[in-house]
Amino acid sequence: MFKVDYSNVKESSFGPLPTGNYECVIQSTSEKTTPNGKEAFNVKLVVRNDLSKVQGLEETNGKYANRILFDDHWKRDINGRYIYHMENLMYVLKAARVPEGTEISSIDDLHEILRGKPVKVYTKVEHSDYSGEDENTIAPWGYSESDYPNVQHQFKKDENKGQSTENPFQGTDDNLNPTTVTEEDLPF
């Protein structure tokens, strides 16, 4: 059947990444709400795998390519309004090279403009009183422009979940064809 061979098995840890600068790509952004009603703008970053062999990045992207970092920007009570601290989001937008003066008219625009952008982040390990564990944190000013703006990162299949443009029904045996709906088909 087979012979046991551990020569290609690599030890991996899913603990926090060591403190340092990482070249990342913004995989996605989203808004989230905690059970007690606190709201945050979440930035999901992936350590770029297209830079794993770049000299000088051996200890960061070389060792930790494809690892995920999360950065939450929490809404705060600012002058009696529960809002995002926009100065903090400006660090992210500037690092993503969004041109100054760009109009962002909705949260969907913000999600779209950041998705897939390269950024460099400085993350450090801090103990969370909330979770009781060590975790990565990124200060708003820990974002900077990537030294490598040409992104060739290859997402893992499940890394880009929900963002695929492939037809999920392609190759099935069912007779699934596009349906055309006319005005006569509608009950209203």
138 within a domain of the structure (yes/no): yes
Q: Does residue 147 belong to any structural domain of this protein?
A: yes
- CA-based angle 73:141:87, to the nearest 5? 55
Q: How many distinct structural domains can be found in the chain?
A: 1
Across 146-154, average pLDDT: 95
Q: What is the mean pLDDT of residues 107-111?
A: 94
Query: Could you give the C-alpha distances from 68 to 76, 83, 146, 160, in angstroms and in order?
Result: 26, 26, 17, 12
Query: Is residue 5 in some structural domain?
Result: no
pLDDT at 81 over 70: yes
pLDDT digits (tens, 9 = 90+) for 23-39: 999 999 999 999 999 99
- Give the helix/strand (H/E) hosting 76: strand 76-78
Distance separating alpha carbons of residues 78 and 93, to the nearest angstrom: 21
Predicted local confidence at residue 83, as pLDDT:
87
188 in a structural domain: no
Does the residue 171 lie in any domain? no
Does this model's pTM top 0.85? My answer is no
d(CA 51, CA 160): 19
Domain that holds residue 128: 20-155
Q: Is 54 within 8 Å of 36 (Cβ atoms)? A: no
Residue 108 covered by a domain: yes
